[in-house]
Copies of this chain bind each other. A is one copy, B any other.
Amino acid sequence: MHSQRFHSFVDRLSTHSYLTEEERQALLALPTSRESIASQATIVAPEEVGQSCYVVVKGLLARISHTREGSRQILSFYVAGDMPHLQSLMHPRAIFGLFALCESEIVRIPHTALREVIKAYPRVSDALSRELGRESNIAFEWIVNLGRRTAIERIAHLFCEMAVKTGTAQERDTRFTFPITQTMLADAAGLSAVHVNRSLQALRKEKVLRFEQGYVEIPNWQALVDVAGFDGSYLESERSLHFANSG
């Protein structure tokens, strides 16, 4: 069933954009292929010219960049419901690579088909633009994170973001899987693996955050938010405002 593959993604778009039933059906009817991706596999290499966008069904993907010296920097995470590589629709040649951090499942959507839907339903185009805008805001917030926060704050902030993105954030006992190693976390936080290890220990000691074997436990959400200086407004969209403009 296509609908199973796609509900997560149509739901995602619906969080910030109004879609008619017809538009939803058009999206759900897109010709797609489901693919299983091995852990540590490259889905899109830098410089590669792509013909498709993707939807994450299961697992965790990341956009990645490498410096000349060979050190790695993760630029963004993609969880179930996210649409990585959406920008390839307008800019087929990839600048940064797309990578699977664990065994994942994705749905591939050919550009040609998506372009047809966009042409027929301009509101779908708007919804995709908002999705890109959200990704852009997240990138900006990462700049703040890397530029102006300490190691512990950075890590705490990253976990706050992931809790909100996975929709698991709640006042008490937030739990979710985040299947990455400390080394990968270091590549996301712009830190060394050793220092990430020590920072995680400090957070554990303070009973603010546990991260073990790809599983996160946040006993007290507010405490983590306070450590991180987290304000999640950059992850949300003002749905009502868009409705006024596009509905």
Interface residues of A, Cβ cutoff 8 Å to B: 49, 63, 65, 67-69, 71-73, 75-76, 87, 90-93, 95-96, 111, 119, 122, 125-126, 129-130, 132-133, 135-137, 139-144, 146-149, 189-190, 229, 233-234, 237-238, 241-242, 245
Contact B132 A139 (CB under 8 A): no
Q: How far is the CA of A142 from the CA of B69 in the complex (A)?
A: 17
Q: How far is the CA of A87 from the CA of B147 in the complex (A)?
A: 23
Interface contacts beyond A67-B148, A73-B147, A139-B140: sample of 8 additional A-B pairs, CB < 8 Å, sorted by A:
A68-B229, A90-B133, A92-B238, A139-B139, A139-B143, A143-B146, A146-B190, A148-B190
Contact A132 B130 (CB under 8 A): no
Q: How far is the CA of A68 from the CA of B153 in the complex (A)?
A: 11
**Taking A92-B241, A147-B190 as contacts, is the C-beta distance between A229 and B67 under 8 angstroms?**
yes
- Which residues of chain B are near A76, meaning CB under 8 Å? 140
Task: Count copies of this chain in the complex.
Answer: 2
- Which residues of chain B are near A238, meaning CB under 8 Å? 91-93
Q: How far is the CA of A234 from the CA of B93 in the complex (A)?
A: 10
Q: How far is the CA of A73 from the CA of B92 in the complex (A)?
A: 31
Q: How far is the CA of A234 from the CA of B65 in the complex (A)?
A: 11
- Which residues of chain B are near A65, meaning CB under 8 Å? 140-141, 143-144
Contact B63 A140 (CB under 8 A): yes
A/B interface sample: 6 pairs, CB < 8 A = A67-B229, A75-B140, A90-B126, A91-B238, A119-B122, A132-B132
